[in-house]
Structure 1
Amino acid sequence: MERPRILHMFTPGRQMSPFDINMAADAGYQIIVPYCEVGLDRITGLTQDTIFSRGPKGVARTGIFIGGRDAQLAADMLERARTSMVKPFVVSLMADPSGAYTTAAAMVACVEAALKRHHAQGLEGQRVVILGGTGPVGRVAGVIAAQAGAEVYLSSRNGIDAAQEAADETGQRFGVKLHGLSGGDPDAVRRSIADADVLLACAAAGVQVVSSEALGAATRLKVAADVNAVPPEGIAGVGVMDDAKPLAGTQAVAIGALAVGNVKYQTQHRLLVQMCEAEKAQVLSFPEAFAVARAFLVEQAGKTA
């Protein structure tokens, strides 16, 4: 009898995201089990319980998904699970805390595609300013953009100290250089975006971080992307459906939340399918998510060419 496909889902939070459970079921997992309030110290024991009970053949049909809301803790949990396994008892692993990894990957991939389409260049050398940059999506988007060669600034409404702390902490954890910027008041926002080539709005839903007046200061702007789907828009003038649409009052194009969301959905689905169907164990984090998001956008461009 063929063994069922099982996904064990670990989260440090009080509950696992229903979104992620649905995605796992649609990817082909037959048994999905959430484990809540799981700290880093419990990962080794849970991982070893997962691997040793199924045998070398069963582990190929077993996966571990790591959720939560902390991008760095998820990375630590993923690494702890990876190092807790003993060959040949090795299962596939994936982390995507609150969708931050796949959302950030989709957002940066959409921006990169727009830069290539409208300016014949990628992210290398571009000044990227991330509003709401101290949250999980902002931090991961910053790391991905920096790894692609951009000069990245994390902006915080709590001022330069909070922004620089997040930049230093995140940069050290993932081996990239990030910078902090203050977005504590309208004047600080205008100053912070004046030399930006790319703006990424990753603030809380329903919070406008860049007004139309402030946007006028961004005279070098090429692309503005916003993951906020709740009015008002995070960046004034960026509609949720915009997909590299000209942004009024600027020379830039706009990418809205639903355009990013479609790529995020496809990215997470493809990663879960890849993990579910793989014959050899996979370890999937935000670099793999970025690669999948890029590939999806290339496919879409080919269909419309």
Structure 2
Amino acid sequence: MKTILLQLDTDAQPSVFDAVVAVDAGVDHLFRHGNVAPVQVRDLIYGALFTRGPKDLKQTAVFIGGTDVDRAEALLKAAKEAFFGPFRVSVLLDPNGANTTAAAAVLSAKAGMGGSLDGVKAAVLAATGPVGQRVARLLARQGAEVTVSSRRPDRAEAVARAIGEATGAKLTPLAGVDADAMAEGLDGCRLIVSAGSTGVTLLPKSVRSTLGDLRVMIDLNAVPPLGIEGIEVYDRDADRDGVRTWGAIGVGGLKMGIHAKAIRELFQANDRILDAEEVFAIGEALD
């Protein structure tokens, strides 16, 4: 029986990137729907459920994407609510590449720190964005002592509180409004991940040079100027002034491998929900 992937996208034009990865991962048939709203999800899911018997439903799966992460999470909620009894299919949530990118970043950080993040003092810059939040969440689940930064104190505090409630960890908010505040808040950090928007330098070299404990830096912005001054976009475990560094493209190869494997994993069972933690576990199991 052929595999079918139902691509539900929040954007008017479903992502070509996600479609190409699905095809390269071996999906036989890809059904793409754009501008999907939660109210439409049930009938789309029912169309996938009722055309095959329960024993064959593992050959059907759902991918939820788009650039609006909050809307995509609402689609996932609606999809889960549409399932009942044995009538369910596996779902991968990866809007804007947030889960696969975060998983690749944290796995790179783990490698850079010698295979363990337990007790590592880490910071996520621009942690209030979708990728930053997931990076912080995954770091906290790996036992890191995480500082989350934002230009707005209230947003940093809200993210620290929400991730703390989800993971049981205690995160430290940091309002990085000036160089002195950044230097003080990042003092002692061994790992820094920058997940900010394009065109914004979050960690200038003048501040970075004061961080004597820093061992690993990862910048997930591919468009110059990068979020961490001194990193190159192609860095993949490069040595920059004695610090191991990864740039966005350096992380990208692992991200692509995780994305493709996650698609294939969808067809191993009909009841899997792949969110950030599940995607991270898939990345850990990559050869």
Give yes or no for TM over 0.5.
Answer: yes
Is the counterpart of residue 282 in structure 1 residue 276 in structure 2?
no
CA distance in 1, matches of 2:22, 2:169: 31
Cα distance change of structure 1 residues 72 and 205 upon mapping to structure 2, 3 Å threshold: same
Conservation of the 8 A alpha-carbon contact between 2:7 and 2:65 = yes
The amino acid that maps onto 1:155 is: S
**Post-superposition CA distance 1:184-241 (Å, at most 9, x none):** 2223222222221210011112322111101012121111111122222221221222
CA distance 1:40–1:192, change in 2 (3 Å) = farther
> Which aligned pairs between 1:67-216 and structure 2 lie closer than 5 A?
67-71=65-69, 74-75=72-73, 77-116=75-114, 122-157=116-151, 159-172=152-165, 176-216=169-209
1:60–1:280 Cα contact (<8 Å) kept = yes
Alignment partner, residue 231 of structure 2: 238
CA distance in 1, matches of 2:164, 2:45: 28
* Gaps in structure 2 of 5+ consecutive residues: none
Question: What is residue 303 of structure 1 aligned with on the other side?
Answer: none
Task: Please state how far the C-alpha of 1:261 moved relative to its aligned partner.
Answer: 0.5
Q: Which amino acid aligns with 2:141?
A: Q
Q: Distance in 2 between matches of 1:33 and 1:252?
A: 45
1:292 partnered with 2:286: no
Q: 1:264 aligns with which of 255, 265, 269?
A: 255
Report the 3-state secondary structure (helix = DSSP H, G, I; strand = E; otherwise coil) of the residue aligned with 2:131.
Answer: helix
Distance 1:175 1:184 in 2: 28
Deviations 1:36-64 (A, max 9, x none): 33333443343233212322244221111
- The CA RMSD over aligned residues, in Å, is 2.2
Letter aligned with residue 261 of structure 2: R
| Contact 2:141–2:167 under 8 Å retained in 1 | no
Q: Once the 2 structures are TM-superposed, how far is the Cα of residue 126 of structure 1 from its aligned partner? A: 1.3
Following superposition, the deviation at residue 97 of structure 1 comes to: 0.9
* Per-residue deviation, 1:142: 0.5
Aligned residues, how many? 287
Identity among equivalent pairs (%): 33
**Structure 1 stretches of 5 or more lacking a match?**
300-305
When the two structures are superposed, what TM-score results if normalisation uses the length of structure 1? 0.86
**3-state SS in 2 of match to 1:230:** coil
Deviates more, 1:172-181 or 1:252-261: 172-181
CA drift of 1:155 comes to 0.8
- Preserved contact between residue 205 and residue 230 of structure 1 (Cα < 8 Å): yes
- Indicate how the Cα distance of structure 1 residues 295 and 60 shifts in structure 2: closer, same or farther if over 3 A, else same: closer
C-alpha contact 2:105 2:251 (8 A) present in aligned 1: yes
TM-score, structure 2 as length reference? 0.91
Q: Which residue of 2 aligns with 1:219?
A: 212
Superposition deviation, residue 68 in structure 1: 2.8
